[in-house]
Structure 1
Amino acid sequence: MKRIEALTKLLNEHNHNYYVLDNPTITDYEYDMLLKELMDLEEKYPDLKAEDSPSNRVGGVALDAFSQVSHTTRMLSLDNSYNAEDLRDFDKRVKKEVSGVDYILEMKIDGLSVALKYEKGILVQGATRGNGEVGEDVTENVKTIKSIPLKLSQPVDIEVRGEVFISKKGFEKLNQNQEEAGLPAFANPRNAAAGSLRQLDSKIAASRPLDIFVFNVLNGGDETIKKHDDNFEFLKELGFKTTEIFKCPTIEEVINHCDDMIEKRHKLTYDIDGMVVKVNDLSQRQTLGVKAKSPRWAIAYKFPAEEKETLVKDIIVQVGRTGVLTPKAELEPVFVAGSTITYATLHNQDYIDEKDIRIGDTVVIQKAGDVIPAVVRVVKDKRSGQEVAFKLPHLCPVCGYDTERLEGEVARRCTNPICPAKLQRGLEHFVSRNAMNIDGLGPAVIQMLLKEGFVKKIEDLYDLDKYKLPMSEIEGFGDKSIDKMLDAIEKSKENELHQFIGGLGISLIGAKAAKVLSAHFGNIDDLIHASKESLIEIDEIGDKMADSFVAFFKEDSAKEMVATLKEKGLKFVVKAQASASLSGLTFVLTGTLENYGRKELQIILENAGAKVSGSVSKKTDYVIYGDKAGSKLTKAESLGVKTMNEEDGLAFLKSEGVL
């Protein structure tokens, strides 16, 4: 079908413009609409889905475990240097073996090394470095990284090396999401990138802001290329994202560039922890050779960590969208790693207690991964005895409601579902693309609506038509944008129940849990009155999730909100299943299936009324397994759960009229 082919090509071009060239040419909304059209067509005509389809970016079925990959070319590590003399010594060692040397200086990205293998220009494998000889197969996860081309501009066989990382802005947003969910913050971008890339569920990897820079050809490619800087140009031509490089004819020029980058690095949008010096000529590299684990033709120059002392003037508390109370240290302003720092997040009470941080303390500040200000340690020798210990309040500092810390959580939360501090960010989440998807209600518009008093709670969004005239009198808010917004709000009344539940921002209840709950209960009334006992009977819902959900709808204000929205015309739709022949049965799919993808078979089962779980328990009715089935099959057999290989499983589904 020509439309599928055209959409695939067009969307891949937009991906390249946005994620590689940093030059988007359409809006996010326009992109999403094109992607939705493509995915709908691919679902209808699965045989026409291209190998490089951008729909592969959204992630797929979770793996039982990563398989091992033996690298055809060892992925070496680098020796480190810390000052100019170390670099000069490196230069002397190189020049003992070769003459006429020039160097290439690269950014040392603080991330996780991967090898990407392409056959005839198509990505076929992604693997972590591991121990340099054996890594882990993370192909499904690297496919979700939008700056990695699924298809190259030339049909070459090539294996390249790159560094997966998370940008400074992406890291800030990721940690913000972690804290709002009551989860521990990531210590630095590298840990976050490594943890995200090694998720068994590629949908989790797809939800993380992973990026990559490719910097080396491991195998294949254009063997006529003789210089490393020419290889960089070749990588760009193929469609890879690369960093800026510096060609340096002498080691002194290398040293000068390294010194310059100590300060300039703070202006980069991504984190680097040093520079990498490489001999440019590839034949000279062959002459120099390698040691046991590192090349003799390259060395890393590590930047010194920058730490500064300052005073904790106060500890203030902010309340987020989900009610999480986040303590922040108000600091005596101090210049660290390129910017003046006046605040540092203290994450939660456990973090404060572990480091014994008190108001009035002298502390050492560092930017975690050169991005987020963090308190490294307290200088206890400078205590005067006047310092004040801090505990998060048991009453919300904004609305005065009780706060609570659920067992097993690190976060303390405000229990008031309509706390004003939650409103701005709560509304932003409610209208977001992953929830009610109401176009035209961005953060600036919501801020204006709150400021003018047009909106004080979620229900008020559906009364905005009566403010059309006063809104039109606000500068920069024209009739067309108002009409577009009101049309989107009206359209959202037809949204599905899971979109509404996911949009409420209930702690621990994300989009997946919202879908599970909506499908299980089938209507809004039964769902909001559900007991904890009925909730935990659902495989995918645990005790903490159930407690959080029940606590949210225990408040009269939450039930009143639902009643009001019903009056305003919200349908809370739950789409009927195409068939219910497997109603009440729970399946688990594991291993590699030949006739159906696991996601495809999952949809077939769910349309027949079954539940498809990601884990095996005593409540599982059937496990259908394919090749390389792992721990799930073993567990099913130990529990006495009925197991069927793919052939028997498909025969069973045909006998039930599902296939």
Structure 2
Amino acid sequence: MTASSPFSTRAEFDEAVEQARQAAQVYYDTGDALMTDADYDVLADRIAATVEAHPGWDDRGITTAVAAGASAGGDVRHPTAMLSLDKIKTPEEAAEFVATLGGDGCLVEVKLDGLAIRAEYVDGALVLAALRGDGTTGEDVTVQVRRGVVGLPEKLAASWSGEVRGEVFMTVADFEAAGANRVAAGGKPFVNSRGAVAGAIRAIDRNYEAPMTFAAYEISGEFGSHLAAMAHAESLGFTPACGLIPEVAGELHTPEQVIAAIDTIGAHRSDLPFPLDGAVIKANLESTRRRLGLASRTPYWATAYKYPPDTASTVLRDIQVRVGRTGRISLRAIVEPVYVAGTTVTYATLHNPKWVADQGLAIGQTVAVWRAGDVIPRVTSPIGEQPHGLTPWTAPEECPQCGEPWDKSSLLWRCHTASCAAANALAYWCSREALDVDGAGDSFCDTLVEQGLARNVADLYDLTVDRIADLPVGKTAAGGTVTLGRNNAERIIAGLEASKKQPFNRVVTGLGIRMTGRSVGRWLAAHFKTMDALRAATVEEIAQIDKMGLIKAQHVVDGLAAMSEVIDRLAAHGLTMQIVETGGPKPWDGKKVVVSGSVPGLSRTEAQEAAARLGASVSGSVSKNTDILVAGDGAGSKLAKAQQLGVTVMTAEEFAAMVQEAGS
């Protein structure tokens, strides 16, 4: 039986309708979830197929009403209805839709996974914000929006009166932060980013921070085309949804162009900083829209192409306990293989042991697995009805690697046995965000520690091809031993030799000191210039660096002292221990720069390093102190905030050309 086959009996159909209505009501009015989007879509498709086979059977609005007929609406009446979109799932259906436009131009833009909202401004001041609700009436969320939604300011730069409609959503980073904040405040974790927006924006008295962003797709006024309307919206300071991926911006005319744009958005889905569940195809000209008109719940001039969902339900089969590079406990869920956002997931991360205990997670339980952007798949919550008799999983009281009791003084338990974190420290040093040693992955580093060939990162540079070529790195299907091999050994040794040319900030990052990472590594390298100066710095001197503070500074001082011998050995092996100055003034001396989105030919770390070599102080967030934002594909909320604050914006292509010209 396929997902879209009809129900065979009226009783099955009525039960499915009730199940769908309950799920939709929770989905649209609370932000929680009784099932994942994928499971709901399967159920709704079967209901639609049944109605088609039995026209007299009532689906109670599941396939015919805005918000599946389940939303309670609200106290605010919309001047014109806020409609839903029909959904299509194949290129053939996309081509059929384009044909209905009769040769008139259309646009393809991202379908953000958030909540539809309408905001009214009078003389440039926000006076009302309301959710879509049932399409006719919606909930007043003005107070919550005023608390802070990037892209929906309380006051516009221009004295404009009118309304703007669009989507409030959370970036991947926002979702992670909001979920952690909600759990820390005693609430339940969010299943997905849309649910997070729904839960956060409705809570007048919420006691946790939940960052959100707005993108516009409609604005009041007389315009001949959607592109003209969105140009006006942008001039007022709003971010148009149709411009979030510049590669597909602009009018299209043929099915081939539309399908190519859909594929382009889909290809970017894994590296975008915000979640999306589809692409919207819409007529550009207002005359086309008037000609095609509206149905009861959807316009005939627009439709939504659905991508594979980023959240799916599966069964939790096991939880592995490991020790991270700094000694912290690390939990990994083994799940029944499930297809999520274009890939099959078998492993997912988990929060800390307290979070697992608070959710009552048990082996054999159905859970939601979320994957968006380049984030590692994560178990977000239990979902749906659960089997009876399951015993909640509890973390071991002792470190599984050394048998010593955990230090439970924080939510992230810690093992203080140095050897437990050795393999993870080696793997982090060799990772792409640190020294980028080709071929030296987790299994290789685990084997080095098991065989006694390396206990710290300096030991890596004592290795030779002959010493590691015969290392056992796995088993054959018949139980035989798989060795590393000479070719792989030569590749790793070559990678270690090449790592000696990596910049000083990567060496600082690769040391893996607590509460440090790529950004802190860049800050420390840029400020102190040499390893000798950094090692001689006091806690107070380090704390003066922007965003460091005394706690991080103390960890840096303690970490450098603990690794003193290792650092000396790394220096003797020829690792870079100072910033290599090229001489003369640099174009971005004294500038605070943020790099967001993809830059042609550069990874995120490489782009930030290139900006630093141009003299910039590189930050991860846009503020009033930011001088320049380098905005590539997927800049999203940072671009919106930069435009709102009047920060200079440089395209990723301009930046890449500047880097190439400077030989940086």
TMscore range, shorter length: 0.3 to 0.5
TM-score when normalising by structure 2: 0.45
